[in-house]
Structures are given as C-alpha cells and as structure tokens.
Structure 1
Amino acid sequence: MNAHTLALVLAGAVCHALWNIVAKRAAGGTLFVWLFGCVSVAAAAPVALVAWQLHPQAFDRWMWLAVLASALVHVIYLLVLQKGYRAGDFAVVYPMARGTGPLLAVLGAVVLLGELPSALGWLGVALVLAGVFMTAGGATGAAGGDAQRRRRGVLWGALTGVCIAGYTVIDGWAVKSLGMAPVLFYATGLAFRTVLLAPWAMHQRGALRGQWRQHRAAIVLVGVLSPLAYCLVLFAVQSAPLSYVAPVREMSMLIGTLVGARLLKESLKPSQVLGAALMLLGVAGLALA
C-alpha cells in the first residue's frame, strides 16, 4: 500500500470516528437520524451521478430488493446506535459495535453460507471475542450507576454489531453476487433510508425544526463525514487490495475509543483500551484471512 492510499484509508478512519463522536455528543434520536440522512443524500448524489454516467447500470428486481433490505437494516442500525449513545459511554459502545460487527458477519457466513475461515481467521475470531470480554469486564468491574451504564453500553454496542453484521452480509451479496456498483448501491440505499423515515418525520414537523435549530452543526457534520468516510475507502480500494485496506480502516476503533473518551470527558479504563486493541487485531486477522 503506497503512502497516498494509506492516507486515504486513515482519513476515512478519522472521518468515521469523528462522525460517531459528533453523533454521541448530539445524543439525537430518530429525527436527528433523518435530518443527517438528508444531508448525506445531498452530499452523495453528485458522486453517484458521476459514477452512473461513467458506468450506467440498470437495476433488476433482486438489486432493488437488496437496496431496500440494506436500507431497512441501516435504519435500524442508526436508531440502535443512537439509543446506545444515549444509554452508554462512547468508549464502550463504539468499539463494541465495531468489533462485534465483523465477528458476527464471519460467524453468519459460517452458519448460513458454509464458509470456513482459515487458521488466521479463527485467530481473528478469538481475538475479537477476547476484546469483547475485556470491554465487558471493564463494564462489570465498575461500581454503582457507572457499572449499570457500562453494561448498557456493552448491550447496545453488541446490538449495533448485530445490525452491522446484517447489512455487511446484504451489501456483500449486492456487490459481489449481484454485481451492483458500490457507489450507486450506497447512494440509492441512502435515499431509501430517508424515504423510510420520512412519513414519521413529517408528522413531527415542529420537533423537526427544533432538532435542526439545536443540532444544525452536528447534523451537517455527520451527514457529510459519514458518506465521505465511505467514499475515501472506496477510492483506496481502487489502488490497493481490500485485504490491506480493511484492517487499516479499523484504526477508527482505537481513534474513536481514545479521542472520543477524551473529548466527551468519559472515564477510560485500561481494560477498555486493551479490549479495543484486541478487537482491532482480531478484525485485521479476519480481513487478512
């Protein structure tokens, strides 16, 4: 991987960590998700239009089904993630979500598709599990209300990981099996997510305006940084193998844990840092397996 590609991947990891930190600080709900989704659609649309002009692609019914399924799971993922950020600490929820997602995706491939990981893949699974237990151990080792908050963070982080695994499997099916162009698939999914939540948002226009006034800067930042993080990785994959890009991208896990805890003034136990590092190594092993 050359220096230019490495810079793209690291920039994508930073963008991913930053938008999650901003979303945690905003502590918004469904309306926040819908509003930053609208910004994301506006930001991604020009890129998707250029991609379609360069490589036009007609969607068949299976492609539309994949887009709709991915959009639905992404909506659930974003709502669960926001609930997790309101219920637990960022330094617990974020690494739990980022670590358990790839782990569950691999286990789902084993159970549903009959795929068998290599020895390195199984080592990655073991390291992610160890990291999860380290993070959960930090939660149970706390006292009083802090312990309860950390346990909620572990639970919601794990549920977020389930959603990540779900859309990872769907997205992989769409891009690899159906041959959908990644940028077009992503942008269309963004539009579908916004449409799915639109009726609910329109029934709360007063609250919607209040949410915009209160969190305008956060909405714009998350709405721009989220698709930007994805596009940076796509550009990197064009010049380097995915097996190299994926583990470097997971640096967002450590960046988010360390920087997020500091910016949000959360207590950070050594076990949480070690747990995030183990999950990072495990995800790298899964990517290289």
Structure 2
Amino acid sequence: MTEWIAGIEGTEAGHRLALLLALAAAFLHAVFGALQKGRHDPWLSRGAIDFSYGAMAAPVALFVVPWPEPHMWPIFVTVFFIHLGYKLAQGYTYTKGAYTVVYPVVRGTGPFFAVIGAYLLFGETFTVTQWLGVGVLLAGIFGLAVYNLIHWQLDRDTLRPALALAVLTGAFVALYTTYDAYGIRASADPFTFLAWFFMIDGLTVMPWLAATRWLRMGDRPDLGPLMLRGLAGGFVAFFSFGAIMMATRLDKVGEAAVLRETSTVFAALIGWLALGELVGPRRLALMALIAAGAVIVEMGG
C-alpha cells in the first residue's frame, strides 16, 4: 500500500484519489463535529473520542507500522501542540455557539489561511479562477456571520465571542492542515505518521481533561452512552482526519483544504436532521455559497 501511494503522488491518479478523499473528509468531519456538539458536554465528547481513537491506534503504532525516523519526533511534538490549541479553541467555540452557527465559520475560515500557508510552506500557487472561488467562499462565510449577528436569537449574549472563537479555530484548522501535510510528507511511511499521530494526540491531554471535568460534575452523565459516542467518533476521526492528511500528501494542500469545506452543507443537514437546529433558506444559501467557492477552486485548478 505504501509503495502504491508513493507511486501515484503528483500524478493524475493521485489527484483523483485526493479529490475523493477530500470529499469523504468533508462529510465525515461534519459528522465528527455533530458528535462532539451533540447532547453531551462538548469537552466530555471530545475526551471520549480522543481516548477511543488513541487506544485503537496504539497497537498499530507500536507493533504494526515501522517506527518513526529520528527527525520525526520534533514534528510530532509540534503537531501535538497545534492540535491541542485547535481542540481547546473548538471546545470553547461549541460551548458558546450553536453548531450550525459556528461550524460554517470555522470550516470556511480555515481554507483561506491554509491557502496562504500552502504557498509559504510548499510554494503552491492558485490561478485567477481559484482565487475567485476563494472570494466566493469568503463571501459566504462573512455573509453567514453577518446574518447570524442580525437574526440569530438563541445565545445572543455569547454569539459575538462564539464567532470570534470560530475564526480562531479556523486559523488552527489551517495551521494543522498545512503542518500535518508537512509531517506526513516528511515520513517515509504515511501510515507510520497517521498511527503515531492518532496515538499521541488521542491519549495525552483531552481524555484527562474530560475525566477531571466529569468527576467535578454534580449531575454526571452515564459513561456508557458517552463512551459509545466516543467509539463512534473515534472511527469517524480515523477516516476523516486520515483522509485529508493522505489527500494533502497525494496532491496540493490548498486545493484539498478548500474542497473539504463542502462539509458546511453536510453540517447544515446534520444540524437540522439530527440536532433539531433550524437552518432556513437564507442561511442554507450562504452555506451553499461557501461550498460553491470550494468547487470553483477545484474546477479552476
């Protein structure tokens, strides 16, 4: 598998596979966000999810894939702190804002920064048509933010900080997207990077923060349903984060990052169908505008 992936990197076949992986990551990341934002406390959900995927990755990292090369350890340390910052920002964002309000801003802000990061780190450039797509995407993002500021009635006292935190989280999304792409390209075996990333990221901080939070609660939720949600989220995380990391190894980082943000449409549907959050035609149109910008970027490449 590793040799086959190395053989299609930078080819048309690699581009097509990266396209499919980015679209899969879009849907799965919307599911992942809904699992964290669902009926459980977002911090508890994240801790259960992290523990699940870390525990599942540990035997693969330790006994199946080749061990990382010496130069990979500083990369893993940097990746760990970037993802920790992302998860803390995301947790506070979901605590203060409704899922369908903050999720599009998080996922829409990320690719703009990712395109800049991909240029600085990998020398990737966009065509005029692709920059037009980025502009359409940003119009949808800021249009959605303004619409929410004017019309959203729930949690009005926390809406502004929730949107600000959503932008910060989007910046972390861009940072981890570009640096993870650097890390998976620096490893001789991409599956070594993925397995060790999930083990280190999953078993270190968030499960312990979640356990401490659970112990301090007066009305503690049952661990059974919480861990079941964590197990489901762990499997989704493997395929969601793993798919986008592999896509950035096979093809351009900026294009993969932008195309993944079609997840905003999936998020709207999930928020409406699963979480009972009203979307409305105007907000749905603005989310579709974000997705349209991502499609323009892909078609203009």
- Common topology (TM > 0.5): yes
Instruction: Name the structure 2 match of 1:183.
Output: 191
- 1:37 counterpart = 2:45: no
Instruction: Name the structure 2 match of 1:267.
Output: 278
Query: Counterparts of 2:26 and 2:41 in 1: how far apart (Å)?
Result: 22
Query: Counterparts of 2:242 and 2:122 in 1: how far apart (Å)?
Result: 28
* Letter in structure 2 aligned against 1:261: W
Q: How many residues get paired?
A: 284
Structure 1 stretch displaced more, 115-124 or 239-248: 239-248
Displacement of 1:23: 1.1
SS at match of 1:102: helix
Query: Counterparts of 1:241 and 1:166 in 2: how far apart (Å)?
Result: 15
Q: Any idea what the Cα deviations from partners look like across 1:151-183, whole Å, max 9, x if unmatched?
A: 44422321210110111121122233x245333
Q: Does the C-alpha gap of structure 1 residues 112 and 40 become closer, same or farther in structure 2, counting only changes over 3 Å?
A: closer
**2:24–2:240: 8 Å Cα contact kept in structure 1?**
yes
**2:137–2:289: 8 Å Cα contact kept in structure 1?**
yes
Match of 2:92 among 74, 83, 98: 83
Query: Counterparts of 2:246 and 2:117 in 1: how far apart (Å)?
Result: 28
Instruction: Name the structure 2 match of 1:282.
Output: 293
Query: Counterparts of 1:74 and 1:86 in 2: how far apart (Å)?
Result: 18
Match of 1:15 among 4, 15, 28: 28
Instruction: Name the structure 2 match of 1:104.
Output: 113
Sequence identity of aligned pairs in percent?
27
Instruction: Name the structure 2 match of 1:66.
Output: 75
**1:77–1:163: 8 Å Cα contact kept in structure 2?**
yes
- 1:159 counterpart = 2:172: no
Structure 1 alignment gaps of length 5 or more: none
Q: Any idea what the Cα deviations from partners look like across 1:22-62, whole Å, max 9, x if unmatched?
A: 2111442544423321101233345556872xxx354223x
Instruction: Name the structure 1 match of 2:8.
Output: none
Instruction: Name the structure 2 match of 1:253.
Output: 264
**1:92–1:157: 8 Å Cα contact kept in structure 2?**
no
Give the RMSD, CA atoms, in angstroms. Answer: 3.8
Q: Any idea what the Cα deviations from partners look like across 1:71-90, whole Å, max 9, x if unmatched?
A: 21112212222222221111
Q: Does the C-alpha gap of structure 1 residues 26 and 151 become closer, same or farther in structure 2, counting only changes over 3 Å?
A: same
Query: Counterparts of 1:92 and 1:9 in 2: how far apart (Å)?
Result: 23
Query: Counterparts of 1:88 and 1:205 in 2: how far apart (Å)?
Result: 21
Q: Any idea what the Cα deviations from partners look like across 1:71-110, whole Å, max 9, x if unmatched?
A: 2111221222222222111112111111111111113445
**1:127–1:282: 8 Å Cα contact kept in structure 2?**
yes
* Letter in structure 2 aligned against 1:258: L
Query: Counterparts of 1:285 and 1:278 in 2: how far apart (Å)?
Result: 10
* Letter in structure 2 aligned against 1:253: T
**1:128–1:280: 8 Å Cα contact kept in structure 2?**
yes
Displacement of 1:239: 9.4
Structure 2 alignment gaps of length 5 or more: 1-13
Displacement of 1:190: 2.4
Instruction: Name the structure 2 match of 1:168.
Output: 177
Structure 1 stretch displaced more, 216-225 or 103-112: 103-112
* Letter in structure 1 aligned against 2:114: A
**2:144–2:283: 8 Å Cα contact kept in structure 1?**
yes
